[in-house]
Structure 1
């Protein structure tokens, strides 16, 4: 019926529907699988947190990485979708220092169709951020990151930590 509806076809293609073979793993019930989170900053190699192995996120809190004060950086998430359309995925990050919340950010990632052999993963770059600077900003921070969809389903939540320092 919608084969002749050109605008509907374009919409489906924008969601990734209508092309390629579905590569969903029938043995893995997860709809959204977060593969990695990467921090890019000029003048330094990217730092990638590998989240592809279930349970790998459990050790992140004990392995802080350093961010130079005042440095500009961009986070990006690599993920895949299986079985059904994922609607309204958000990245939510709460940062605390000494138990006190210092920031809460939420960024829309979007809606995605299941990955196919034509597009095996998705990647989303977030808005550029700037690390705080000054003597009072330096120190250890804890963060909780989660990936949540429009239905309030948490696809992944994990704790991690970082240090703001004078240099990398």
Structure 2
């Protein structure tokens, strides 16, 4: 069960369609050759992603991209990697422009309306909430990468300090694929 803060917002009037498996979607309009080829390119044909990993969505990494610097990468691929994130804090220079990007793989079935949700707290008080729609994806052996909009880190003496973050990936069906805690520090310069 996902933390209530990490539940996605609902759009009034939007209804999630009935869940269909990748095999069911592949069979729809099977006689249309161009649709069949397009579906296969999405991983909906016989060549879908075969994996022994039981997870349908495998989030590999979340990264912060800053022009002129090497990406700061959070490894999210294994439970051990997630555990290590609890004990470290990422340094962010105040006022810089950055972009988050996520790398993930879809293993077994189509995922509809995958979202990244992030809650940022300072001293136990929520200071920011972000919800980014990643989209809908079919199974594929190659990872997907989604880049977010460019943002600016807060600046000034009051913005500097330690922040705790709770992040998660949730789909339209309400399934939480990953949820974890991490932290960052906004400082005057990179350290």
Do they superpose with TM above 0.5?
A: yes
SS state at 2:79 partner: coil
Q: Secondary structure at the match of 2:51?
A: coil
Is the deviation greater in 57-66 or in 157-166? Answer: 57-66
After the TM superposition, which residues 13-162 of structure 1 pair with which residues of structure 2 at under 5 Å, given as runs?
15-18=42-45, 21-26=47-52, 28-116=53-141, 120-162=142-184
Cα distance, 1:14 vs structure 2: 6.5
User: Which has more strand, going by share of residues?
Assistant: 1
Looking at structure 2, the residues matched to 143 and 109 of structure 1 have their Cα atoms a distance apart, in angstroms, of 19
Match of 1:62, SS state, is coil
Q: Distance in 2 between matches of 1:45 and 1:53?
A: 23
Q: CA deviation at 1:13?
A: 5.4
Whole-Å separation in 1 of the counterparts to 2:62 and 2:131? 15
Q: Which runs of 4 or more aligned residues in structure 1 lie more than 6 Å from their structure 2 counterparts after TM superposition? A: none
TM-score (structure 2 length as normaliser)? 0.78
How many positions carry a matched residue from both structures?
162
RMSD (Å) for aligned C-alpha atoms: 1.8
Deviation at 1:11, TM superposition (A): 5.6
Give me the whole-angstrom Cα distance separating, in 1, the residues matched to 2:184 and 2:66: 15
1:93: Cα distance to partner? 0.4
- Matching residue of 1:12: 39
State the alpha-carbon separation in 2 of the partners of residues 9 and 70 from structure 1. 48
Cα distance in 1 for partners of 2:56, 2:64 equals 24
Pick from 30, 33, 36 the counterpart of residue 2 of structure 1: 30
- State how far apart, in whole Å, the 1-side matches of 2:186 and 2:162 are: 7
Q: Is the 8 A contact 1:93 1:104 kept in 2?
A: yes
List runs of 5+ in structure 1 lacking aligned partners: none
Measured in 2, the distance between the counterparts of 1:105 and 1:11 equals: 32
Distance 2:68 2:153 in 1: 15
Q: Normalising to structure 1: TM-score of the pair?
A: 0.88
Structure 2: stretches of 5+ with no match in the other structure? 1-28
Question: Contact (CA 8 Å) 1:15, 1:111: kept in 2 or not?
Answer: no
Distance 1:64 1:45 in 2: 17
Paired residue for 2:21? none
- Name the SS for the 1:29 alignment partner: coil
Q: Which one has more relative contact order, counting CA pairs under 8 Å at least 6 apart? A: 1
